[in-house]
Structure 1
Amino acid sequence: MASNTGDTDNRGIESLYRISSLVGETEDPQDALEVILDEMVRVFRASSASVALIHPDSRELRIEAASGLPITVKDFPLKLGVGVTGWVALHGEPLLIQDTRNDPRYVALREDVLSELAVPMEDKGRVIGVLNLDSNQPNTFSEDDVLLLRLLTREATRAIQQLWAVRQLRVTARQMETLLRVGQSIVSKKDLNTVLDAIASATRDLIDARFAAIFLLDDSGEFLELHSIRGDGWDDPYQEKLSLDESSVGTAIRHQRQVEVLDLARTEEHHFVPVVQKFGLISMLATPLSFENQGIGVLCAYTDSLHRFNNDEKKVMKGLASLGAVAIENSRLYRRIFETEESLNRNDKLTTLGLLSAEIAHEIRNPLTVMQLLFKSVDFDFEEEDPRHEDIRIIGEKISQLEDIVGRVLDFGKSGDGMRGRFKVESIVRETLQLVRMKLFQADVRLVYSSHPDVRESEVNVNKGQIQQALLNLIINAVDAMTGGGEIRIRLDPEEGNRVRISIADTGCGIDPEIGDRIFESFLTGRKNGSGLGLSIAKRIVRSHRGDIHLSWTGASGTCFELWLPLLHGGN
């Protein structure tokens, strides 16, 4: 059916206006495509229309939207060069077929289609899809229709690209929100397994992966062991140990770079085999977990369809891996702190505490620096009403909290002989409780702290680190006496003679009466793994500060120790 140039211009202007108006009413690219196709059918008096896009991974054409066609057409992918649509996609040129019965390039999706017009959809000179018009009459479309359809398709593609860009920005914003939420979450987690599971779950959410797994280097540094796996439908316990030379997972950590496997079945991958086979996992992205330029493990994402990970997904995985590596090392550091605390019960040298402080100073400063960099790299200026504004504030607060903890422990570790100064008694006690709060939590011990108003501002002239050592010994002994959990009560009270009394009471099993009179002697202990030095060291420290410790009471309901120290008054 022929049409003159004047009619073509009028139809073009009217259709451009309608497409712009209709597309502007939706934010969903899929809805916009359907609106555009309905308009194309109306303008060109076609019986049906479709948009087929080139899949970036398989390089096949897949019908994304259709008008006047059965929904089943979306189930039939087309190869480039096959059929009218494939020919246009391959050559990047429009194709007009006046009678499909006489053109071998036509592949029938409907038996009643007798003429077809197809034009390429282009983005910056690159073909991304094809728009097709069909008619059940021969000779329906003209050369003028070819020109008009090219014009309308170009404008429609531009509009759709803008909607795709907006959608991608929203996906990126959601990914950043998830990263912020993960950062907020793992800062509060200290258990390694809990941290690993949180990272794996976040990986699935961020890039829409079917499965996520975390492998960590073993102590030998030669093997990767599976520590966490997250995916729908998999609840069975599963173990995996890989040599660094066996798979792409090992390659990622050996070369410190991301490794992408497009099709696991077509490569010599021998890891994760039961999971891969059961759930049909196809593509994988392995991202190294690195801390201070040293590989500690690999974070893997798996999809159950052929998928080429784009640059945004790779960047998100790198960011999550960096954050995860910090969280993993932070968790390991806490575990080492707890182990060192235990060793204090069996070590008669106060310098052990200084070594602990030095390790903490070295280990925590670096992850804190990385966390600060990651936090500052998220450059979103949210309005105060936006809930993400509060998320950012909370993460900054948690990082500052960690910095405060480091400062307190460093001050403790630097305490040496002769380093005495003026300190508030309550401040010393509270800082000591900060050091053992995780041990109390792990042992299921409830802490009840109180102080008399008259001593809350009172000061003492002491070596703070040594006094904290003495308090630590008393508190750790109390925790060890309550194997099934319990309660520790610590109270500060004024004492005659311008002194302060610190009481530490527990609900443990009490002290054996046979050794009650000799508990401050060196190497005397009632515990199997005790060194017998804790109380003797504590008493020696307190007496060197012109104070004392004694056993107030003990029995089946628990034990109470009392510690006295002289207070400063005036300016002396």
Structure 2
Amino acid sequence: MQSHPPQPPAPHSQNNRDQDTAGIVPPLDPELNDDLRALRTLHRLATIARDETAPHRDTLNALLVEIISALDASAGAISLLNPDSGQLEIEAHVEHPGDAHDISLRLGQGLAGWVALHASARLIPDVADEPRHIRIRPASRCVMAAPMEDNGQVIGVIKIDHDKPAAFSERDLRLLVHYTREATVCVTRLWQLRQLREKSRQLETLITIGQTLVAKLEEQELFDTVTRDTREIIPGLPGCAFYLHDPGRRAVRLVSFNPPTLDAPARDADLPLNSCLVASAIHTRRQVEFTDIRGPDFLDLLDLPRNPAPRSLLAEPLVFENEILGVLAVFTDHVHRFNNDEKRLLTAIASLAAVALQNARLYSRVFQSEDLLRKNEQLTTLGLLAAEIAHEIRNPLTVLKLLHGALGLDFPDDDPRRTDLRVIGEKLDQLEAIVTRVLHFAKAPASLHSRWPLADIIDDTIVLIRLKLAQAKIQLRYEPPPRSLIVNVHKGQIQQVLLNVLLNAMQAMPDGGRITLAHHLSGEAAGAAHPRMAHIDITDTGGGIPENVRDHLFTSFLSGRPDGTGLGLSIARRILASHHGDITLESSSAAGTTLRITLPVA
């Protein structure tokens, strides 16, 4: 996980400290300000912190070497408090055994543990007289230590040794306290600077993640991107899992696990909530943390990986408009207390993922609606073509019936031709009935027409394509007129006309653009010879319609796109004709195209 300043327990007050213990430090003497050597040491300590690029441990080593040199010590160590274990761990040392970094002390254990627990410096003139002292260096005889405090919190201890007993004086201890304070300031400032840089990096990464997730329209790709990016923005995570919530089944389903090489639960299998640890995030509707889940109470859980077994887990629910869509969970392979930065980052990513998932689902519905519209468009075309064919058949069929009736043929009852003549008449009547049914079926029933405000029809149509407009980076401008226009139409068919025209306009602007939609009234002057007509002008900023296409724009099966059917505008004109309206090309150039839809006002 990330390196963070330790978070120790609150320090003890001065009244609670052991005043009877030797080595308790009084306030610093003003005379130390006149010590030239001490001032030079303080200056060099401050200078060390200027190197912002140096590794954290190198900075600690440099500070320790300077303090040891200033106090003529033989050895020393800097121990920092680990926020996960609550123990002191040696981060830098001089003249200590090579495995000193593996040594950790509880608060109160040894000299360093005592100093950290009581937040007080201490001097041991001869370690032979102190049975509680833990001798890491066999040659160590005289030891002193001072706490590293930041805003009243102990974050570590600096301890120095000498090979001779009584080598350090009370004045040396006061100098150590002074040097420790300066070293602590240097360390905390470097920590803060690195934290600010890390936060800046995380913010940039979050912005990038947000932009990436919004563009993911396929759900599985979205899930895999979320788990991968979560591990990137929170370094040191052995694994990240994405669970979808199914409230109807009262279960979760693992849909993504990163890295995929780990022994994760079965994908796409329903896991009952009462057998899953992440269910606690769903039930409480808030982030939950488990510091250690290695115990027997967690063995039967179905949602956790088995190899390697997780040790600590942080789970964040994905909530969108008060609906829990799923859970994003991260885990470590060691006991770890997740800090506030990690918790906030997981919350931010889960929020972005919830919005992106909802967008992907809405886009999927839009695409399904578009596919359905295209199928309806094809069926409508087949119906219109059938009506045309039936209409063309009906004319010669009428002629045949008239000629057949006018022949006046009459054969004797026993003549087979009499039966043939009767069958011919019956089949002609049958053909006429079939043609009549086809024509009546293709004709929109007048009962489906009703009075509608034209602005309402347009508004409802815009709602259907608003997500597709956003995806295509197209702005739509529409301002309804102050006076409402009422039309007597089949609403669904008029919406189909508008959708065909708007989709064509969007496809003419693959890199984005603007669609302007406006409607107005004509023929309302007193005594006008023509009925009042509502005009809807749809203007795009595309490249225009080619010259060789304009004259045949509303012809069936004419398309300027490889994937087009050439039926959209042809169907639109036929629908409008059945409503006593029309669609025309008003203008087209490199600056854009304007189509006008005309309908009679009720």
In the other structure, the counterpart of 1:299 is 328
* Structure 2 residue 374 is the aligned partner of structure 1 residue 319: no
Amino acid at match of 1:9: D
| Structure 1 residues 49 and 8: CA distance shift in structure 2, 3 A | farther
1:278 to 295, 303, 307: 307
How far is 1:300 from its partner?
0.6
- Amino acid aligned to 1:22: I
Q: Residue type of the partner of 1:541?
A: I
The answer (yes or no) to whether the contact 1:242–1:271 under 8 Å persists in 2 is: no
Measured in 1, the distance between the counterparts of 2:346 and 2:499 equals 48
Within a 5 Å distance, the mapping from 1:77-88 to structure 2 comes to 77-88=104-115
Counterpart Cα distance in 1 of 2:50 and 2:292: 39
Asked whether the 8 Å contact 1:499–1:567 carries over to 2, the reply is no
Deviation at 1:104, TM superposition (A): 1.1
Q: From 254, 274, 278, give the equivalent of 2:283.
A: 254
Which residue pairs with 1:228 in the alignment?
A: 256
3-state SS of paired residue (1:104): coil
Using the TM superposition, give the Cα deviation of residue 111 of structure 1 relative to its aligned residue in structure 2, in angstroms: 1.4
Q: Distance in 2 between matches of 1:247 and 1:79?
A: 35
Q: 1:246 to 1:492 in 2, by over 3 A?
A: farther
Q: How does 1:28-177 map to 2 (within 5 A)?
A: 28=54, 29-177=56-204
Aligned to 1:504: 559
Output the CA distance in 1 between the equivalents of 2:298 and 2:152. 38
Structure 1 residues 338 and 274, CA, compared in 2 at 3 Å: closer, same or farther?
closer
Question: Taking every aligned residue pair, what percent have the same amino acid on both sides?
Answer: 33
CA distance in 1, matches of 2:88, 2:562: 73
Deviation at 1:15, TM superposition (A): 0.9
**1:330 pairs with 2:359:** yes
- Cα distance, 1:71 vs. partner? 3.5
User: Per-residue deviation at 1:312?
Assistant: 1.7
Q: Give the match for residue 264 of structure 1.
A: 293
Partner SS state of residue 215, structure 1: strand
Letter in 2 for 1:328: L
Shift of residue 506 of structure 1? 8.2
Instruction: Select the structure of larger CA radius of gyration.
Output: 2
Q: Number of paired residues?
A: 447
User: How far did residue 106 of structure 1 move?
Assistant: 1.3
Q: Secondary structure at the match of 1:186?
A: helix
Residue 224 of structure 2 is aligned to residue 204 of structure 1:
no
Contact 1:262 1:308 (8 Å CA) reproduced = yes
User: 2:194 is paired with a residue of what secondary structure?
Assistant: helix
| 2:242 aligned partner, one-letter code | I
SS in 1 for 2:135: coil
- Asked if the contact 1:287/1:318 (under 8 Å) is kept, the reply is yes
Whether the 8 Å contact between 1:201 and 1:230 is mirrored in structure 2 is: yes
The aligned runs of 1:209-220 (5 Å cut-off) are 209-218=237-246, 220=248
The answer to whether the 8 A contact 2:227-2:241 is kept is yes
Letter in 2 for 1:433: Q
Is residue 24 of structure 1 aligned with residue 50 of structure 2?
yes
Note if 1:15 corresponds to 2:57: no
1:62 aligned counterpart, secondary structure: strand
Kept in 2, the 8 Å contact 1:52–1:63? The answer is yes
With the length of structure 2 as denominator, give the TM-score of the two structures.
Answer: 0.63
The aligned counterpart of 2:369 is: 340
Going from structure 1 to structure 2, the CA distance change for 1:100 and 1:358 (only over 3 Å counts) comes to farther
Query: Which letter does structure 2 place at the counterpart of 1:504?
Result: S
Please say if residues 122 and 144 of structure 2, whose CA atoms lie closer than 8 Å, have aligned partners that are also in contact: yes
Is the Cα–Cα contact under 8 Å of residues 263 and 282 in structure 1 kept in the other structure?
Answer: yes
Greater shift after overlay, 276-285 or 131-140? 276-285
- Could you say what secondary structure the match of 1:220 adopts? coil
1:310 aligns with 2:360: no
Do the aligned residues in 1 keep the contact of 2:264 with 2:305 (CA within 8 Å)? no
Deviation at 1:503, TM superposition (A): 1.7
For residues 461 and 343 of structure 2, what CA distance do their matches in structure 1 show? 34
* Amino acid aligned to 2:559: I
In 2, Cα distance between the equivalents of 1:193 and 1:60? 43
1:190 alignment partner in structure 2: 217
| Amino acid in structure 1 at the alignment position of 2:505 | E
Secondary structure, in 3 states, of the residue corresponding to 2:548? strand
Instruction: Specify the SS of the correspondent of 1:504.
Output: coil
Give the 3 Å change call, closer, same or farther, for CA 496–157 of structure 1 in structure 2. closer
Change (3 A) 1:296 1:341: same
CA–CA distance in structure 1, aligned partners of residues 354 and 505 of structure 2: 28
Q: C-alpha offsets along residues 137-168 of structure 1, whole Å, 9 cap, x if unaligned?
A: 22111111111111110111011101100111
Indicate the larger mover: 354-363 or 276-285: 354-363
Alpha carbons of structure 1 residues 248 and 568: separation in structure 2 relative to 1, 3 Å: same
The question of 1:541 aligning with 2:575 is answered: yes
Supply the AA of the counterpart residue of 1:110: R
Query: C-alpha separation between the residues in 1 aligned to 2:199 and 2:151?
Result: 23
Decide whether aligned partners of structure 1 residues 425 and 93 sit closer, same or farther in structure 2, where only a CA change above 3 A counts: closer
Superposed CA deviations along residues 418-456 of structure 1, whole A, max 9, x for unmatched, are: 6999x9999746435389x9xxxxxxxxxxxxxxxxxxx
CA distance in 1, matches of 2:550, 2:140: 102
1:376 corresponds to? none
What CA distance in whole angstroms lies between the structure 2 residues aligned with 1:170 and 1:271?
A: 42
Q: How much does 1:224 deviate?
A: 1.3
Aligned residue type for 1:21: T
For 1:433 and 1:415, the matched residues in 2 are separated by 30
Deviations 1:54-89 (A, max 9, x none): 111210111111222234111122111111111111
SS in 2 for 1:216: strand
The CA distance in 2 between the partners of 1:134 and 1:60, in whole Å, is 21
In the aligned structure 2, how far is the partner of 1:400 from the partner of 1:150?
66
Cα pair 1:500 1:566 within 8 Å, conserved: no
State whether structure 2 residue 488 is matched by structure 1 residue 433. no
1:343 to partner: Cα distance: 3.0
Q: Deviations over 1:300-321 (max 9, x none)?
A: 1111222111112211111111
Shift of 1:545: 7.9
Q: Using the alignment, how far apart are the partners of 1:69 and 1:425 within structure 2?
A: 79
In structure 1, runs of 5+ residues without a counterpart are: 366-398, 438-460, 469-489, 511-519, 521-533, 549-564
| Aligned 1:415-454 pairs, distance under 5 A | 428=502, 430-431=504-505, 433=507
Aligned partner of residue 257 in structure 1, secondary structure: coil
User: Which letter maps to 2:324?
Assistant: G
Match runs of 1:344-355 below 5 Å: 344=373, 345=375
1:238 aligns with 2:266: yes
